[in-house]
Structure 1
Amino acid sequence: MSEKEKLPQLREDLEYLWTVYQGKEALVVKDPVGLVKKPLVIYGETLNFLRLLQKSTSIDELQLNWIRMNQGVFSSQTEIRQMVDDLDRLFLLDTPHYRREKQAMVQSFARLSVRPPALAGQAYPAEKESLLQFLKGILDKGKKTEITGRKVSLKGLIVPHIDLEVGARVYAAGYRLLPARKPPLILLLGTGHHLSSGLVSLTSKDFETPLGRVRTAKDIIEELKKDASRVISPDDFAHRSEHSLEFQLLFLQYLYGDSFEIVPILIGSFHEYLLGGKDFRDIPGLLAWVTKIKQIIHRKQSQWLIIASVDLAHVGLKFGHSLPGEALVSQARANDEKLMTALARGDAQKFWQINQEVKDKYNICGFSALMILMLIWPGLRGELLDYDFWIDSASRSAVSFAAFGLYGDLEIS
């Protein structure tokens, strides 16, 4: 690192949570990529140095700022460089070292033909019988719900992807509605929380869980990839540790076994277009790709079940607000109600407009996936089955989530 060389910065793909550790302010770092193996707590001198690193533009400036912070105690540039290198070895910084190791992980995952479960033994039991009992306990929390709208068969669900026990009642409201008849094909739309390149991530990998292996409809995935480079991520690494689809597969396997095929799709952020005052029609390649999905579904319309795995508002200190989550719940709920009204009508334009007007103030986690759902399915009609808010006192934050039954005909336009 030369003196004129730009200092490395903190990785943007890490998750950060402010907390108190041993009576001091601390930063908890989690790595969805997996290079930082366990949550890391940063405090004291290391945290102070990290803050200065973010504010400094050169080794000279960082050295001077560090000496000032330590009331004139001298540190050489060699010592400063060593501290930067120590952070780099922890994979906290966006450096060539980090990029090489991440690329090796991307390539290693790409070679797999089956996606192993990422959260078995953490978010849910890893042993089959225990998992079956766990899922039964969740489904028992909900009541069998009947759609009160038009007398048409259920063709899809919107369900949460929040912690399974936290959202148990709402998960149950959705999954207890599914018909006993097993659908041959299930389109899974999930939030790509860590999708960093492209708007959409597709994978041809089959999915393994403690309940067995679910096959991916590889022919459909390959068809969706064709001539879609402006939309599709160049790799499927976003699927590696993503929970939004993994959680749904558990319920589907519990209800239907594993003799169905899935089309797993993760949707990234539309933030750039939403906050830039643009219309969803301005997103390069998106509508052409959506038309391709519609045509594929239309060929075998009666065989499909469509499931969108989304949460709604994310408010509070953890999510960048100056107020704690509990103070923002009433505002966020009112905004959710507007969005859910548009969603129930399948009104993609209104849905986009509502969130754009508030500049995504409430961090709607499933916004992009729900937009894709409505664009794929313009004849969608939805019925709200349940809705809830979770208050996380530890992070002074709150998350909302809902379940919808979806019905209506797919229209090709």
Structure 2
Amino acid sequence: MIMRRPAVAGQFYPGNENDLRELIKKLAPEHTPSKIPALGVVAPHAGYIYSGRVAAEVYASIEEAPTFVILGPNHYMYGSAVALSTQEWMTPLGNVQVDEDFIDCLPIGIIDKDELAHRSEHSIEVQIPFLQYFFKDFKIVPIALGLQDYDTIKELAGELVKAIEKYDERVVIIASSDFTHYEDVDVAHRKDRALIKTIEQLDVPAFYDELYRINASTCGYGPIGAMMMACRERGAKYGKLLRYATSGDVTGDRQVVGYAGIAVY
């Protein structure tokens, strides 16, 4: 069977099932309040020792869904500009199927079926073990974005909304992104707070304006924008910051990468 095999198992997270389960268990919050009926989330995609606690907070806090559309930036720029994987995805916790029924609902448009964009990309892969740990029965729709400009994400969001409207099951859109990259911790906090504020308001134009104003190094801004736009169209009113951290919380360094976990509902 042709499937998408792990590219960063043993690097970003443990490569065997027992160690991976144990690590996520340690990263997971001990207690979470009532589950949030999220339409979308923002979750980080760095190595689990750095950003895993933020990601675990996100997935422990939201209601389960049969389908998760995972939008991630294409760091390596291989393949199509908006690339959908239709292969089964393997992780140390088992295999996850793509949702072919949802894919059949997507209109012909900006999204291309293309595996090359996903072969080495980690931004979508690292989300899946968290989904496997916290949820039992789900399928995924993995889409990697090489283009993240406003026009592209507007078109993508429109196509996702059309598919969701035709689809009978609950769908959650995951925007995979880290925030500030390798800047002083005080600068990272200031820049990331400015962006998070626009996400909490679901203000996509303001989010893009702020990106350029502060010269942000947020890698998955396109996935965040597309998720916000689609969720607003589906009736979401606001976003809620669940957890924020930086790599410096682990390393003690002042040059940090920022991570935010946000639920949109």
Length-normalised TM-score, structure 1:
0.57
* Amino acid in structure 2 at the alignment position of 1:366: G
Q: Retained in 2: the 8 A contact 1:197–1:234?
A: no
Residue 128 (structure 1) aligns with: 17
* Amino acid in structure 2 at the alignment position of 1:113: I
- Unaligned regions of 5+ residues in structure 1, if any? 1-111, 274-279, 316-324, 408-413
Residue 134 (structure 2) aligns with: 255
Match of 2:45 among 135, 140, 161: 161
- For 1:364 and 1:123, the matched residues in 2 are separated by 19
Residue 263 (structure 2) aligns with: 405
Deviations 1:52-101 (A, max 9, x none): xxxxxxxxxxxxxxxxxxxxxxxxxxxxxxxxxxxxxxxxxxxxxxxxxx
Residue 173 (structure 2) aligns with: 306
- For 1:396 and 1:237, the matched residues in 2 are separated by 36
Q: Establish whether residue 137 from structure 1 lines up as the match of residue 22 from structure 2.
A: no
- For 2:203 and 2:59, the matched residues in 1 are separated by 24
Q: Retained in 2: the 8 A contact 1:387–1:400?
A: yes
Shift of 1:201: 1.4
Residue 87 (structure 2) aligns with: 205
* Amino acid in structure 1 at the alignment position of 2:202: G
Deviations 1:354-377 (A, max 9, x none): 11223xx23111211111112222
Q: Retained in 1: the 8 A contact 2:12–2:46?
A: no
Q: Establish whether residue 347 from structure 1 lines up as the match of residue 231 from structure 2.
A: no
Secondary structure at the residue paired with 1:136? helix
Q: Retained in 1: the 8 A contact 2:54–2:261?
A: yes
Q: Retained in 2: the 8 A contact 1:206–1:215?
A: yes
Secondary structure at the residue paired with 1:144? coil
Change (3 A) 1:218 1:388: same
Aligned residues: 261
Q: Retained in 2: the 8 A contact 1:186–1:263?
A: yes
Change (3 A) 1:377 1:115: same
- For 2:107 and 2:74, the matched residues in 1 are separated by 17
- For 1:401 and 1:219, the matched residues in 2 are separated by 33
Q: Which has the higher contact order (CA 8 A, sep 6+)?
A: 2
* Amino acid in structure 2 at the alignment position of 1:342: T
Match of 2:221 among 353, 367, 381: 367
- For 2:140 and 2:113, the matched residues in 1 are separated by 20
Secondary structure at the residue paired with 1:402? strand
Residue 33 (structure 1) aligns with: none
Q: Establish whether residue 265 from structure 1 lines up as the match of residue 143 from structure 2.
A: yes
Shift of 1:197: 4.9
Q: Establish whether residue 383 from structure 1 lines up as the match of residue 240 from structure 2.
A: yes
Q: Retained in 2: the 8 A contact 1:332–1:362?
A: no
- For 2:79 and 2:135, the matched residues in 1 are separated by 34
Residue 335 (structure 1) aligns with: 191
Shift of 1:382: 0.8
- For 2:102 and 2:85, the matched residues in 1 are separated by 11
Deviations 1:234-274 (A, max 9, x none): 732121122221111101111223x321111112243xx5x
Secondary structure at the residue paired with 2:86? coil
- For 1:118 and 1:198, the matched residues in 2 are separated by 19
Q: Retained in 2: the 8 A contact 1:384–1:405?
A: yes
- For 2:12 and 2:156, the matched residues in 1 are separated by 34
Change (3 A) 1:166 1:235: same
- For 1:265 and 1:290, the matched residues in 2 are separated by 12
Shift of 1:166: 1.2
Identity of aligned residues (%): 30
Change (3 A) 1:233 1:404: same
Change (3 A) 1:126 1:191: same
Give runs of aligned pairs for residues 171-182 of structure 1, distance below 5 A. 171-179=55-63, 182=64
Residue 85 (structure 1) aligns with: none
- For 1:333 and 1:222, the matched residues in 2 are separated by 41
Two-structure CA RMSD over aligned residues (Å): 2.7
Secondary structure at the residue paired with 1:351? helix
* Amino acid in structure 2 at the alignment position of 1:162: A
Q: Retained in 2: the 8 A contact 1:313–1:400?
A: yes
Deviations 1:312-337 (A, max 9, x none): 1113xxxxxxxxx33xx323322211
Larger radius of gyration: 1
Q: Retained in 1: the 8 A contact 2:50–2:246?
A: no
